[in-house]
Structure 1
């Protein structure tokens, strides 16, 4: 397995926040059924989705949990020349109250409008447990990957504290990140999540992942990285989001 390919595949999964979920059709046995789903990554770095109990893909998953999530770089002129990842997975319905609460807190930060759907309608959280990944980084750059995801050491109270602190006390720094990265600025950005390799900004309903100059192992290192970026004149090239 290429370590570099695994890193690029994981970054693609972080940079994007929607993909095509393919399930085994219950209504049309033998045929795959594709549907678009938004997702964020849970504490283990696995895709977390919130789907309706009456949706076709939910009926399919309840019959056969084997599925795949196709994620590709957004806005590409030539989709065959850019990165895409097919993540083969086993879908797991969350039952445990504590896990559902943790999923809710994280997912709502990424998709605030989903709170209404979840509370009013019959929606459930599902976790996609990766089995294997197929990453294509462009023409000829094709890899089977046994390990794509990476756990988030800050998930939970530590991440919530850092995100809330940045959003309440450091709006100017966040605006600076937006300007440096050349992101849309039609509405103020907010931090949605932090992981060891970077952080997510939510601008309106769009999400953007920006990489730290180097991975962070502790909350202190995260703070140091955010402070350094707030004073930077140029964003590190590897930290820029896909167009």
Structure 2
């Protein structure tokens, strides 16, 4: 699927936003099927997300037991113009644990170190740290009220982008009057 000029502009915005963040919110599923929220520093390589996680951490255990997860990359609360419309991108992802010492392992760890600093080198030498690759299945980019976009495809910027226009709707005037005239 080819993107039109507007889609290419949105895709570039998505990637620029992602690269401006250094950590993401991660939602995994426990063995009992409950959602578990956490966070992790990340990097991106070829449209995929890489995380270096300790297998002691609950989210790493969850990813090893259930490869389905969700990520949220969000604008900082303190710098957002509007708390209810913070810039964000979320993805439904499929995770894969990368074999230690494979070429993909070395590439992912090097990208993490380049982005996040020398601590990655030390962590990657610990046997409990595992490298995970998260492949997006679909996502959503929100940059304000009425400015939401569906991202389809298996990369961060979306192979197909559509503006979501069927969103917020005002309540009918009669509904508001009923509320206003309801006795306290």
Same structural fold, with TM-score higher than 0.5 when normalized by the shorter chain: yes
8 A contact 2:109–2:120 mirrored in 1: no
SS of 1:149's partner is coil
- SS of the equivalent of 1:13 reads helix
Structure 2 SS opposite 1:19: strand
RMSD across aligned positions (CA): 1.9
Aligned residue pairs total: 147
Within a 5 Å distance, the mapping from 1:29-40 to structure 2 comes to: 29-40=32-43
Identify the match of residue 93 of structure 1 among 93, 97, 105.
97
Aligned equivalents of 2:69 and 2:126: distance in 1?
27
Query: Residue 120 of structure 1 aligns to a residue in which SS?
Result: coil
Residue in structure 1 matched with residue 48 of structure 2 by the alignment: 46
Match of 2:138 among 132, 137, 144: 132
> Structure 2-normalised TM-score?
0.72
Runs of 5+ consecutive residues of structure 1 not aligned to the other structure: 151-243
Higher strand share goes to which structure?
2
1:139, distance to aligned residue in structure 2 (A) = 0.6
Measured in 2, the distance between the counterparts of 1:101 and 1:118 equals 10
- Please say if 1:109 is aligned against 2:111: no
Between the two structures, name the one with larger relative contact order (CA 8 Å, sep ≥ 6): 2
With normalisation by structure 1, the TM-score equals 0.56
Query: Structure 2, unaligned stretches of length 5 or more?
Result: 158-184
In structure 2, the partner of 1:210 is none
Aligned position for 1:71: 73
SS of the residue 1:9 aligns to: helix
